[in-house]
């Protein structure tokens, strides 16, 4: 039986280190911000090659606070992919701005710069590029487009810890990167956590205020801020896990390579990784016109799969577009065809072979049915 992921297994491997980190926080008596949070912020900024990092409560807050810190709000439009986790668009709506959906590329599943260009209006303030499934979005064409029109370019890095674009880590490629440390991400906390990485010291300072009641110093609140601080316990646990992230990502890459090799030529679509991109291999996503039948056949063979994502964001109730939108046709097709195979660093070679065999047998059964 190949589980989709097994978070307890990773915790067992790191149990001593994680327990020691927990003890450190326990005896420190500091339970909001403090040295564990600072240590993580410095280490994660170094990992992303950025000047600074601001730890916050979760990935949704990271995107929302990044937009707020840039002054994006009511009356503004922000271009987001129609094919992503809802958080990317929800953060835009939560600051009172309007998400405008652009289509994605049929091979990379990432933002299509031509569709972004077509979505720009005089109200557009920013574009949020999502590095979907761990593959960097086309940052160069997007930067050319946003620079020439005076727009912000933000990164949703929730799925991309360890990804690189032209050799540079994601999170420091544009006007700010939002990260989630939701437990299943490549770098996952043991609860909710998030961060923003940036090269801009003034932006980082505004973010530090916004995450903490808009407070500049004790009882001085120049802006209406939130309470969304990275928990020191999560920071301590993340400090442990960050030390293992590169080796975890190497194992992910090895498994993804095996899938690519052994599942080639079977009529499955597979996410393309452009030559300038190095994937973080967050999810291994294939596509097939009979996705649901394939999923059922895999389930029967003991291979657990998930779908990221079965509903394109513009069809979600808050954006209520019940009918197909021809301008977002790729997002709509992918959402009906994509399937995520199990991919996590603790899978052993037998688990991986089990998935490969399961997919081969299921496709055969589908073809003969």
Q: Does 344 bind ligand PLP (CB under 6 A)?
A: no
To the nearest whole angstrom, how small is the minimum distance from the Cβ of residue 369 to ligand PLP?
34
Q: Name the one range near ligand PLP by CB under 6 A: 155-163, 253-261, 269-277, 339-347.
A: 155-163
Based on the shown chain and the rule CB under 6 A, indicate whether residue 84 belongs to the binding site for ligand PLP.
yes
Count of residues touching ligand PLP (by CB under 6 A)? 15
In this structure, the number of other CB atoms found within 10 A of the CB of residue 137 comes to: 33
The residue within the footprint of ligand PLP, chosen from 85, 259, 287, 344 (CB under 6 A), is 85
The helix/strand/coil state of 137 is coil
* C-beta neighbour count of 245 within 10 angstroms: 18
- Can you read off the two tokens belonging to residue 242? 């960050």
Spatial CB neighbours of 361, under 8 Å, sequence gap ≥ 6: 297, 301
Are 354 and 255 within 8 A, CB to CB?
Answer: no
Which position has the token pair 């939130």? 226
* Binding flag, residue 103, ligand PLP (CB under 6 A): no
8 A C-beta contact, residue 330 and residue 108? no
* Least distance between ligand PLP and beta carbon 27 (Å): 28
Question: Least separation, in Å, of the C-beta of 282 and ligand PLP?
Answer: 8
Q: Which residue intervals of the chain are DSSP H helices?
A: 7-13, 15-28, 35-48, 59-69, 87-94, 113-119, 139-149, 201-210, 232-262, 291-300, 329-337, 349-368
Two tokens at 310?
A: 């079965």
State the binding string over 11-50 for ligand PLP (x if CB under 6 A, else -): ----------------------------------------
Contact track, ligand PLP, 43-82, x by CB under 6 A: ---------------xxx----------------------
In the bound complex, what is the minimum distance in angstroms from residue 193's beta carbon to ligand PLP?
7
180 binds ligand PLP (CB under 6 A): yes
- Contact call for residue 87 and ligand PLP (CB under 6 A): yes
DSSP letters for 68-110 = HHTT--TT-EEEEESSS-THHHHHHHHTT-EEEEE-B-TTT-S
Q: How far is the CB of 284 from ligand PLP (least distance, A)?
A: 15
* Member of 10, 50, 88, 197 binding ligand PLP (CB under 6 A): 88
CB nearer to ligand PLP: pick between 84 and 239: 84
The reply to whether 108 sits near ligand PLP by the rule CB under 6 A is no
Distances (CA, A) of 64 to 7, 67, 106, 226, 249: 27, 5, 28, 11, 28
Binding site for ligand PLP (CB under 6 A): 58-60, 84-85, 87-88, 130, 156, 158-159, 180, 182, 192, 194
């Amino acid at each position: 039986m190949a589980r989709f992921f097994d978070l307890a297994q990773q915790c067992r491997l790191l149990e001593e280190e994680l327990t020691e980190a927990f003890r450190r926080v326990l005896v420190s008596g500091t339970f909001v911000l403090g040295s564990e949070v600072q240590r993580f912020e410095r280490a994660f900024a170094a990992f992303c090659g950025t000047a600074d990092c601001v730890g916050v409560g979760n990935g949704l807050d990271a995107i929302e606070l990044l937009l707020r810190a840039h002054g994006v709000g009511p009356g503004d439009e922000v271009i987001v992919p129609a094919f992503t986790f809802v958080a990317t668009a929800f953060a835009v709506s939560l600051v009172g701005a309007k998400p405008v959906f652009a289509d994605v590329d049929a091979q990379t599943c990432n933002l299509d710069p031509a569709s972004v260009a077509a979505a720009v209006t005089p109200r557009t303030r920013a574009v949020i590029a999502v590095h979907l499934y761990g593959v960097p979005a086309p940052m160069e064409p997007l930067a050319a487009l946003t620079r020439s029109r005076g727009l912000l370019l933000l990164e949703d890095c929730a799925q991309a810890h360890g990804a690189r674009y032209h050799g540079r880590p994601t999170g420091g490629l544009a006007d700010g990167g939002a990260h989630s440390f939701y437990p299943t991400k490549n770098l996952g906390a043991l609860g909710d956590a998030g961060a923003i990485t940036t090269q801009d010291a003034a932006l980082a300072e505004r973010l530090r205020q916004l995450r903490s009641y808009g407070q500049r110093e004790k009882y001085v609140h120049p802006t209406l801020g939130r309470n969304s601080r990275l928990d020191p316990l999560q920071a301590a646990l993340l400090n442990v896990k960050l030390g293992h992230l590169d080796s975890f990502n190497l194992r992910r890459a090895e498994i993804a390579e095996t899938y690519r090799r052994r599942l080639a030529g079977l009529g499955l679509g597979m996410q393309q990784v452009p030559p300038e991109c190095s994937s973080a291999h967050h999810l291994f996503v294939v596509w097939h016109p009979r996705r649901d039948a394939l999923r059922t056949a895999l389930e029967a063979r003991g291979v657990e799969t998930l779908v990221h994502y079965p509903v394109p964001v513009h069809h979600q109730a808050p954006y209520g577009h019940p009918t197909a939108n021809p301008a977002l046709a790729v997002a709509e097709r992918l959402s009906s065809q994509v399937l995520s195979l199990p991919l996590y660093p603790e899978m052993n070679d037998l688990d991986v072979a089990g998935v490969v065999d399961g997919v081969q047998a299921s496709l055969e059964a589908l073809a003969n049915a």
